[in-house]
């Protein structure tokens, strides 16, 4: 059963597992929409999206009206969407902001991502990234462009290093998850995802290994 992080009469915030697509499609066995209907007895409406391989906080609406309302709520400057990731290398400076266009379907779209380092090893770092805009793949593109690609990223990452990470640390998934979601209005809501299993495995294997 998919874990609920918050629920009221309008919305449900879940801890989406990695590897589960948010909506049905070709070659999709089960999606978030299917799983929520199975587990909670209603067919949800998507308010925002996470990549198939990105786990963590995902807000779903119970009605189309709620979906429209919370879509504007999530785009408000008072709403905070925070992600955590394992990246290759160490950010310099350790805290900063990416403010550059990202590419989506051939278009250049303005995007802003705030980041800070939480823990640094010789070859990898744990970072936190907060969205200043909501562009598809903006965190993945921004870190890759800065020279610190997210571990396990098979689209924007360092493919040679990914192979070594898979061999040495069993990293076979994108090391990115939606850590928390904070909403101020119409009511204060805070949801925080649990540490994904592939992150738990990484931290267990990290000791004594190098890439």
Residues annotated as catalytic (active site), given as ranges: 51
Q: How far apart are CA 39 and CA 109, in angstroms?
A: 37
Q: How far apart are CA 43 and CA 208, in angstroms?
A: 46
How far is residue 145 CA from its own chain's centroid?
Answer: 18
Strand duo 3-7 + 176-183: pairing: unpaired
Strand duo 112-120 + 95-99: pairing: antiparallel
């Amino acid at each position: 059963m998919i874990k609920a992080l918050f629920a009221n009469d309008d919305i449900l915030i879940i801890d989406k597992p990695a590897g589960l697509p948010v909506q049905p499609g070709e070659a999709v066995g089960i999606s978030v929409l299917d799983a929520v209907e199975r587990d909670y007895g209603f067919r949800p409406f998507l308010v925002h999206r996470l990549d198939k391989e990105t786990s963590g906080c995902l807000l779903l609406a119970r009605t189309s009206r709620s979906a429209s309302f919370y879509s504007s709520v999530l785009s408000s400057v008072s709403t905070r969407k925070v992600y955590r990731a394992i990246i290759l290398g160490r950010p310099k400076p350790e805290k900063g902001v990416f403010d550059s266009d990202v590419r989506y379907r051939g278009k250049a779209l303005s995007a802003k991502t705030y980041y800070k380092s939480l823990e640094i090893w010789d070859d990898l770092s744990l970072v936190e990234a907060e969205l200043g805009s909501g562009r598809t793949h903006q965190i993945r593109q921004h870190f890759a462009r800065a020279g610190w690609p997210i571990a396990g990223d098979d689209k924007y990452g360092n493919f040679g290093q990914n192979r070594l990470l898979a061999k040495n640390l069993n990293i076979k998934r994108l090391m990115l998850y939606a850590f928390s979601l904070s909403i101020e209005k119409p009511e204060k809501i805070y949801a925080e995802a649990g540490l994904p299993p592939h992150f738990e495995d990484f931290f267990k294997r990290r000791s004594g290994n190098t890439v």
